[in-house]
């Protein structure tokens, strides 16, 4: 079976350090092109993919018939536009999160996906990692009894005004950058959607949220999250049940922030741990994407799932007095 041939729109640092190498390494994938007008940035990609073709514009890459799929790591406010353009050009699309800035924009993407017959998805890599697949199995099979509460934390420090995450015109802010993980992780593991957001406190800097505390009610449990890009790096998610506690101590940047570790404590006061030291969730994401394109199997993170996370995001912004 011929590999899926990939092109990258832009030469973002994240694409250079993580997704470019992942596409290059993934089974069933071949990284063949990048669109950038910067020779030094192109050279950084060619260092690990020497045969890479360099296009000087995004449109030129989309017009290249040798490319089957496009990865979009552009600033947040450009995601919808270039995902739609790529679908219209007959390419499959994997776009960085948040794929949209408002829930309604997902409806455009879903309609465009269906018209094109191509696969389009948000690059939400954590659902491809075995630690989250295992967490979902444990919670839904009752390993911790009835779920009572979920607590999620994701923080890092970035006060660089020139960084795109601190630019309101580019769709910046901590919630859009990393809040998607704290929200989507709870939804993925439990299979539930929030009923309401009774509390959301946002702290702004330069008109972007830099600290957020969120409380939500789900049908079967309560939820709390802390999200910040003005705090010392920390990440953890805990599922607290009537008969046990399940903790993921490095849930979002596995093997980058720290080791992927799942701990389960039960009524007998015993603790069991599972680790995945050699797993690259970015590679798994690309491989699952390619397999879905090649075989028609269901993709683990369809647009409909990502739409649900954006809907929760919109609810949080509204509860915090800041409509999306």
From the CB of residue 37, how many other CB atoms can be counted at a distance below 10 Å? 12
What does the alpha-carbon distance between residue 150 and residue 155 come to, in Å, rounded to a whole number?
Answer: 17
Q: Please give the Cα distance from 130 to 68 (Å, whole number).
A: 27
Closest C-alpha among 120, 125, 141 to residue 285: 125
| Measured distance CA(305)–CA(44) in Å, rounded | 34
Cα–Cα dist 283/29, whole Å: 10
Q: Distances in Å between the alpha carbon of 14 and those of 73, 121, 183, 191, 195?
A: 8, 18, 22, 29, 34
The alpha-carbon radius of gyration of the chain (Å, integer) is 20
The answer to whether 98 and 171 are in contact (CB under 8 A) is: yes
Catalytic pick from 13, 41, 91, 97? 97
Token reading at 65: 């018939």
From the list 37, 55, 112, the residue with the least C-alpha distance to 80 is: 112
Q: Is 201 a catalytic residue?
A: no
Cα distance between residue 163 and residue 186, in whole Å: 28
Ordered alpha helix ranges (H), the chain: 13-14, 20-25, 39-46, 58-62, 79-88, 103-116, 130-140, 174, 180-190, 281-295, 303-319
The owner of tokens 């800035």 is: 101
Catalytic residues: 97
């Amino acid at each position: 079976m011929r590999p899926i041939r990939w092109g990258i729109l832009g030469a973002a640092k994240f694409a250079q350090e993580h997704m470019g190498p992942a596409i290059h390494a993934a089974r069933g994938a071949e990284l063949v092109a990048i669109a950038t007008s910067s020779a030094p940035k192109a050279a950084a990609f060619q260092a690990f993919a020497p045969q890479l073709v360099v296009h000087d514009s995004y449109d030129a890459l989309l017009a290249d018939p040798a490319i089957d799929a496009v990865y979009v790591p552009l600033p947040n406010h450009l995601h919808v536009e270039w995902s739609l353009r790529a679908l219209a050009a007959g390419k499959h699309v994997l776009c960085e999160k948040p794929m949209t800035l408002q829930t309604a924009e997902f409806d455009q993407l879903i309609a465009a996906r269906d018209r094109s017959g191509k696969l389009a998805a948000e690059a939400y890599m954590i659902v491809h990692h075995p630690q989250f697949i295992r967490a979902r199995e444990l919670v839904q099979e009752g390993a911790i009894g009835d779920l009572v509460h979920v607590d999620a934390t994701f923080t890092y420090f970035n006060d660089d005004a020139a960084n795109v995450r601190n630019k309101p015109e580019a769709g910046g802010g901590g919630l859009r950058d990393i809040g998607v993980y704290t929200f989507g992780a709870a939804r993925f593991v439990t299979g539930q959607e929030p009923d309401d957001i009774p509390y959301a406190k946002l702290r702004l800097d330069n008109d972007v949220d830099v600290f957020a505390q969120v409380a939500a009610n789900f049908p079967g449990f309560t939820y709390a999250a802390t999200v910040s890009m003005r705090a010392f790096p920390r990440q953890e998610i805990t599922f607290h049940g009537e008969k046990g506690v399940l903790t993921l101590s490095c849930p979002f940047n596995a093997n980058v922030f720290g080791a992927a570790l799942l701990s389960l404590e039960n009524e007998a006061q015993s603790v069991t741990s599972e680790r995945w030291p050699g797993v690259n969730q970015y590679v798994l994401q690309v491989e699952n994407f390619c397999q879905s394109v090649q075989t028609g199997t269901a993709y683990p993170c369809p647009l409909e799932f990502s739409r649900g996370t954006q809907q929760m995001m919109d609810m949080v912004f509204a509860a915090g007095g800041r409509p999306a």
